[in-house]
Amino acid sequence: MTPGAALAAECARYTAMGWMRGTSGNLSVVLSRDPLRLAVTISGKDKGELGPADVVEIDAEGRTDDPVRVPSAEAGLHGRIAAVTGAGAVVHVHALAPVVAAEHWPGGVELRDLEMLKGFGRAAHDDVVVIPVVPNSQDMKVLGDAFEEGHRADVPALIVARHGVYVWGDDLHHARHRLECLEWLLRFKVETRRDR
């Protein structure tokens, strides 16, 4: 399967989950590591209807030399995350639970003692996982700096407040499994909070 076909198939799954509403969200896969090149979904299209050609090749800063296709505005953050973490795939969706969680815990969302943490690559017991939260910005350099400042190698996710969530992994499946588990964890966290 080409990178474009793989990205389109994953976008269709995320759309079915309600996590890529309108034209929101974007996914990327690393094509080469040195120099870093990624394939990222194009801007402005319904993510449930992408074809294999709806993909743009970008460099680490999110720039492309494609004369026609425009990469997502958030492509620069994909490049930064892939460069810093060594991930093979980065997924960004506008799921609701991460954004609501960040509203309650703007300093970071703490998770512990939950079986689903195993699907996120952590332990179900005796382990505390804090998902970092950064303020939203339209400047990918600002977002990238904030990401790098709070990044820990054992937490493959970033919540952008009032916006959405980024998750990464070795490949698109690995990233999706982590995101599916994280979304469940954050929904649990929000729905069981005691401050209401």
| Pick from 89, 88, 81: nearest CA to 145 | 81
Q: Whole-number minimum distance, CB 124 to Zn ion, in Å?
A: 30
Q: Is 151 known to sit in a ligand binding site?
A: no
Q: Which residue has tokens 């799954």?
A: 13
Q: Closest CB to Zn ion among 122 and 132? A: 132
Contact 62, 75 (CB under 8 A): yes
Distance CA 141, CA 73 (A): 12
* Shortest separation between residue 96's beta carbon and Zn ion, angstroms: 13
Pick from 102, 80, 77: nearest CA to 159: 102
How far apart CA 166 and CA 164 sit, in angstroms, is 7
How far apart, in Å, are the Cα atoms of 134 and each of 72, 108, 137, 145, 166?
Answer: 20, 9, 9, 10, 11
Residue 78, marked binder: no
User: Closest distance between Zn ion and the C-beta of residue 158, in Å?
Assistant: 12
Closer of 156 and 164 to Zn ion (Cβ) = 164
Q: Which residues bind Zn ion (CB under 5 A)?
A: 164
Cβ 92 to Zn ion, closest distance in Å? 6
CB nearer to Zn ion: pick between 47 and 122: 47
The smaller minimum CB distance to Zn ion, of residues 122 and 178, is found at 178
Contact 60, 81 (CB under 8 A): no
Q: Which residue is nearest to Zn ion (CB)?
A: 164
Cβ 113 to Zn ion shortest distance, Å? 30
Quickly count: other Cβ atoms within 10 Å of residue 133's Cβ.
22
Decide whether 9 or 73 has the Cβ nearer to Zn ion.
73
Binding-site residues from annotation: 92, 94
Q: Name the binding residues for Zn(2+).
A: 92, 94
